[in-house]
Structure 1
């Protein structure tokens, strides 16, 4: 019965969610000459810079390094941006929350979805790079949406969790920058897992972002159908983080007005 109430409530405010997402996208590129074109240019330019650095300075033995690198970038950059912006969404929307009733989960959710718009553009940029580098296109590319959905669900869970924690513990907004940097280095974005010592390989096995990236590369670059064990390594963290995030957010949301 409660599920029906939640769905009805969400449907009632879906237009507001759409407006919040559009607002975030417009604000991000407001007064920019190229506007939304930056959602394509940013991943392309970063790929070029990092490819030059890691191909010439570190010389990792990775075939088709530009596509390998960009597959990691697309997933991790989405999560990093989505979770970081969602974390501060309740605090930054305090004036609106204090004035009228709005389902508070809409704010972190809208931040994640606006970043998802950038993710879609990044995937388009990845396709462009694949054509430029003459990467073979296999039938498994049609499965690209599966790791993308895993990343989206995980980001929503982390977004609502962090946004609720940030209201009570503002220091987390500063600490998260350090955490996300460490998380990036523990995710095989620009290096092969084979170069790591065994104890680090074990740690990375429990890193859900590494699993999302691995699955994304499997279907995009290597033409492999993801194994059930890989699906399990992706699904379980998504479920745990989403349930935990919703639980913590629901328990604390009535106190947001008193703390923001």
Structure 2
């Protein structure tokens, strides 16, 4: 374990450069640049709030905040895992030339998405101030669901990046999967409207658990539920360990397929 820590410290400057590069590439030739990390969630919130507030009469207090909080969580999952999927393929030229711990490329994608997550979280705070929503002391627990989300997404990203090197069709199938998963996550709708047969399916979704935890501490003035917290930790660790195992077993063959 000490060898892995020393190796990580050795290549930490490279990781910082990779994260900076990913952010620059994403907003290259954009007039507003990184400001879009704030504007994107706000614009989506306005559009979806207008549409769903009129089409569906959800009994949700301050629906724009409810919607934006869901977007913050799910958008990070979608962005981090989707970008991680091509982390190895897109860095093939560097991997072929020199030795670099290959997991750094996946880490850089997750970390760059995390920076966007922080910007989206700032947008959420701004909306709370603008709508005069009460900011409860439970917001101090926000790092917990966020860290669980990052660990979960890193595990998924490691799995996807390793599989995509061999099976490029995953890139096309995953976008369909993410769309379906969004509707199985209470981003737009409250859990109370779900029929009995669908409720347990949505509840089993690991992102649902993290999202509900996030909303509880941000909007509902509730502390962390111990059962939900333990379940989320176990789910995150399982996915992360599987991701590390799959990535470790596959990385020696990357050079043959990229």
TM score, norm. by length of structure 1: 0.98
| 2:246 pairs with 1:238 | no
Aligned-partner SS, 1:93: helix
Q: 1:74 to 1:115 in 2, by over 3 A?
A: same
The match for 2:168 is 170
The match for 1:55 is 53
The match for 2:13 is 15
Aligned-partner SS, 1:199: coil
Distance 2:6 2:189 in 1: 46
Aligned counterpart for 2:210 among listed residues 208, 212, 218: 212
The one-character-per-residue Cα deviations of 1:194-226 (angstroms, maximum 9, x if unpaired) are 111122111122111101110010000000002
Distance 2:196 2:91 in 1: 45
2:114 touches 2:150 (CA, 8 Å); kept in 1? yes
Distance 2:117 2:179 in 1: 19
Post-superposition offset of 1:27: 1.1
Distance 1:163 1:137 in 2: 38
Correspondence 1:51-90 to 2 at 5 A: 51-90=49-88
Distance 2:211 2:39 in 1: 21
Distance 2:197 2:248 in 1: 37
The one-character-per-residue Cα deviations of 1:77-114 (angstroms, maximum 9, x if unpaired) are 00100000000110111111111111000111100100
Aligned-partner SS, 2:219: helix
Post-superposition offset of 1:233: 2.4
Provide runs of 4+ in structure 1 moved above 4 Å.
Answer: none
Aligned counterpart for 1:134 among listed residues 132, 144, 154: 132
Distance 2:6 2:158 in 1: 20
Distance 1:65 1:216 in 2: 15
Distance 1:44 1:64 in 2: 15
Distance 2:81 2:55 in 1: 31
Post-superposition offset of 1:14: 0.5
Post-superposition offset of 1:168: 1.3
| 2:252 pairs with 1:254 | yes
Distance 2:177 2:232 in 1: 20
Distance 2:115 2:31 in 1: 19
2:141 touches 2:224 (CA, 8 Å); kept in 1? no
Distance 1:170 1:16 in 2: 27
Distance 1:25 1:243 in 2: 27
The match for 2:145 is 147
Distance 2:232 2:44 in 1: 26
Aligned-pair RMSD on alpha carbons? 0.7
Uncovered stretches (5+) of structure 1, i.e. residues with no partner: none
Post-superposition offset of 1:61: 1.3
